[in-house]
Structure 1
Amino acid sequence: MLNALKWVRENRIPFRVRSGRHSYENFSLVNGGLIIDVSEMHEITVNRKGMTAKIEAGANLGQVYNELWKDGTTIPGGTESSVGLVGLTLGGGIGMLSRWFGLTCDNLLEVEMVIAEGHSDAKLVKANKNHNSELFWACCGGGGGNFGIVTSLTFKVHPISKVSVFSIIWRWDDFEAAFDAWQKWAPNTSDRLTSEIELKAKEANQIIAQGEFVGPSTKLKALLRPLTDTGSPVKVLIKEVPYIQAVRFFDDPSGNQAAYRKRSGSFLDKPFSSNAILTMKQFLENAPNEKSGIWHQSLGGAAGRIGPTETAFYYRDTIIAQEYLATWDNPAEERRNIRWIEELRRALSRHTTGDYVNWSDRLIRDWPTAYYGENLNRLRAVKKAYDPFNLFEFPQSIPPFTKWI
């Protein structure tokens, strides 16, 4: 990494850093330049006595979960096994343990990173709460690729054995009732329970709520009554499993397959009104195809007990993360699908706030504020301090204070 960064500086070659290949807007690619790919660096070392794990920058979530499980431990992260751990962490990191163990970045102890030095050199630095603390703060939600090339992350890990999972499916007729019941329940139930709900296009005729509870299935069944008593569920699954089976239960292998996609997102700081729910329903009635959808995950709990400025991840006071999804097969369908996402985001914007930096969207006009809220200026100061020449630049990289936005 040191030599690669020195080389691109000496030769003035554009470059990008790549790990998990899940950048929604392809920010890890560049034409006519160098791709610094860290994906072959994936060693994981667990200190069971100290309950920490040092993980190299190329490891994906599947590798991390499986390796940590050998020691009966885990970290809170996302659900798709092919997602790179570094990108997830640097943007915050939400998943099925967020309400119990916090965001992925909340469990980060130290970062090793190659940064630019002087006019042509590079050096390896460590950042934690006591050393390069501002850089460490920025790495906890400030997004990937902004300050340097991460080579490893050290986390605190948590013991885990069995958990309980659930899945509830309703048909389209229960759209309003199912979502309203979920949104009022999910951020306020036991902190041990994190859940999601996906509203699929009317053509798919499916509303699916799923979640993970760190506890027994008997307790989960009781906690789920506000959902199972709503509408007419066509399927209810509740089971207690070894944690690693829960990881596989939520994994979506299609996430690592090449496809035409557009994504965007937002956060909710209060439950949607009936008008906002109706707006979602109207868009899904007129979706480009049955693969379109709106996905939500509950926040709060441990993720909400940290202040908005304590880490770079700003949206601590929100209750739900919301993602807009479009996938299509024919390149000729691109314009319609992208327009649908953009119009959906605009229509819901009066009811939502911000956007999650890991759901990057080039079409958001004021993306720096959308991603980072009131933490933006502090992040720009960190950028100026650690990347004063703006070497790590891409279409939505954090601009240093020397650059006008």
Structure 2
Amino acid sequence: MKKAKLTGRIVTPNNTAYDSARENLNLSIQKYPCIIVFCQNREDVKNALRWAREKQVPFRVRSGRHSYENFSLVNRGLIIDVSEMKGIHYRQDKQTAMIQAGAELGLVYGQLWEDRVTLPAGTVYNVGLSGLALGGGIGMLTRQFGLTCDSLEEVEIVVPSGKCGAKIIYANRVENSELFWACRGGGGGNFGIVTAFTFRVHPIKNVSIFSITWGWDDFKEAYDTWQHWAPFTDKRLTSQIELSAKQKGIITASGQFIGTPKKLVKLIEPLLQTGSPTDRQLERVPFIEAVSFFNSPQGNRPLPFKRSGSFVYKPLPTEAIKTMKHYLEKAPNNNTTIWQQALGGAVDNYEPDETAYYHRHAIIAQEYNTSWDRRDEEQENRCWVKHVRKALSPYTKGDYVNWPDRNIKNWEHAYYGKNYERLREVKTHYDPFNVFCFSQSIRPFKTH
């Protein structure tokens, strides 16, 4: 066999484009790879994996650059970047879409909208579909259509072969079915490099959206009403709530309903009757406008940040709400938030072991967010996330693999629960030499 050669668009430290090419969304963790190869097709991906194995060069796989802990970067190694593979092909006869692994959510939503179909996916435009789907995928259609990975029908994936090789295989419910199971919630970069996905798509036209804002004095009442309502209401309605730092002093609940404003008004009545809302919005819009409404400009912009998360399995007691309020009163800056999205609905249609995504019975996904401008503010912000997560841990479980946190010691159980051992079996079968390895990657069993 011929020696492997890197193909695609190659960037090295000598290139003027190097700094922009190596930069990820989280600027607080800087890494300096030797080579970044922007793959143009699946052969480029296969060549890059073979080259890294033959040369014994450390490598990472990257798509949308949103890895919270920058696991998709490595010092003095190779970055296999699929972000320039963006093809999207809709098949009306099968109601499926083949989407290459580099496509970002904004592009996916926009192109599928031309045929009035969509995927249940996230809210930030420049998030890569690949990482989102492999970790699960939550967003404003979750309670109606499930996680992003629940619409997955097949993956095309480059996996290790032999001592130094690489090969392209397909995984679906029939072929390589255990790998397909693992790709629905087992996280990105663990088993191989996905080059394309086939998803089942869903018809969509107009939706109704709402937003309600309260002042700080309504913190407890507004949150408590939302948490007892949002995961249990009509499954066509998915909502989120953002609890801002006291410096900002607002609580905002918003959501999307596949139905009419008249019906939505009745559904959100518990929220409207709570406290003294300072602002409210409700309208019917084309789905693509709702996508724009929920897109987070801050989520699209590179900056230094620290985030973590957990799941809520039953409504939080008064003490937990007081704890959240206390930490937001002590927040390091007004960019600090606790954000939550309601689950339930279609997410709960699966048992925890039916896909690798374990937290099926959680009612809320919860994220702790902060960012900073100056380097001397970093420690305070990181400590805030660490302490709020610990303070709320008696009332929460685990964490979402797409919100990784290096500070979680028992990350295997936090992300994957009882599915971790099965994931290790899949890893052992497809990557016995642990070629795909980073600080929180799934480990194979020892092979002889």
For the aligned pair, the TM-score class normalised by the smaller chain equals over 0.9
Structure 1, residues 98-124: CA drift from partner, whole Å, max 9, x if none? 000000000000000000000011000
Equivalent-residue separation in structure 2 for 1:359 and 1:274 (angstroms): 26
Q: Which residue of 1 aligns with 2:259?
A: 215
1:373 deviates by: 0.3
Q: How does 1:169-184 map to 2 (within 5 A)?
A: 169-184=213-228
Equivalent-residue separation in structure 2 for 1:297 and 1:201 (angstroms): 18
SS in 1 for 2:402: helix
Of residues 369, 382, 406, the one that matches 1:338 is 382
Q: Provide structure 1 residue ranges, at least 5 long, that are not aligned to the other structure.
A: none
Higher relative contact order (CA 8 A, sep 6+): 1
SS in 2 for 1:357: coil
Letter in 2 for 1:328: W
1:255 deviates by: 1.5
Letter in 2 for 1:26: N
Letter in 2 for 1:272: L
Of residues 421, 425, 428, the one that matches 1:384 is 428
Q: Which residue of 2 aligns with 1:270?
A: 314
1:144 paired with 2:188, answer yes
Of residues 318, 330, 337, the one that matches 2:362 is 318
Of residues 396, 400, 409, the one that matches 1:356 is 400
1:91 deviates by: 0.3
Q: Which residue of 1 aligns with 2:87?
A: 43
Letter in 2 for 1:143: G
Cα RMSD (Å): 0.7
Equivalent-residue separation in structure 2 for 1:176 and 1:304 (angstroms): 27
Q: Which runs of 4+ in 1 moved over 6 A?
A: none
Equivalent-residue separation in structure 1 for 2:426 and 2:391 (angstroms): 34
1:93 paired with 2:143, answer no
Letter in 2 for 1:155: F
Letter in 2 for 1:337: N
1:298 paired with 2:342, answer yes
Letter in 1 for 2:344: G
Aligned length: 403
Q: Which residue of 1 aligns with 2:111?
A: 67
Letter in 1 for 2:271: L
Structure 1, residues 303-344: CA drift from partner, whole Å, max 9, x if none? 111100000000001100000001111111111100010000
Q: Which residue of 1 aligns with 2:100?
A: 56
Structure 1, residues 363-401: CA drift from partner, whole Å, max 9, x if none? 001001100000000001101110000000011101112
Equivalent-residue separation in structure 1 for 2:125 and 2:261 (angstroms): 25
Q: Provide structure 2 residue ranges, at least 5 long, that are not aligned to the other structure.
A: 1-44
Equivalent-residue separation in structure 1 for 2:446 and 2:325 (angstroms): 44
1:254 deviates by: 2.1
1:252 deviates by: 1.0
TM value normalised by structure 1: 0.99
Equivalent-residue separation in structure 2 for 1:240 and 1:368 (angstroms): 42
Of residues 46, 49, 54, the one that matches 1:5 is 49
SS in 2 for 1:232: coil
Equivalent-residue separation in structure 2 for 1:283 and 1:250 (angstroms): 26
Structure 1, residues 176-215: CA drift from partner, whole Å, max 9, x if none? 0000000000011000000000000001011010100000
SS in 2 for 1:358: coil
Identity %: 59
Q: Which residue of 2 aligns with 1:204?
A: 248
Q: Which residue of 1 aligns with 2:416?
A: 372
Equivalent-residue separation in structure 2 for 1:205 and 1:402 (angstroms): 52
Equivalent-residue separation in structure 2 for 1:11 and 1:386 (angstroms): 20
SS in 2 for 1:4: helix
Q: Which residue of 2 aligns with 1:132?
A: 176
Letter in 1 for 2:205: S
1:395 paired with 2:408, answer no
1:168 deviates by: 0.4
Letter in 1 for 2:439: P
Equivalent-residue separation in structure 2 for 1:253 and 1:201 (angstroms): 18
Equivalent-residue separation in structure 1 for 2:81 and 2:46 (angstroms): 13
Equivalent-residue separation in structure 2 for 1:258 and 1:120 (angstroms): 36
Q: How does 1:234-245 map to 2 (within 5 A)?
A: 234-245=278-289
Q: Which residue of 1 aligns with 2:5?
A: none
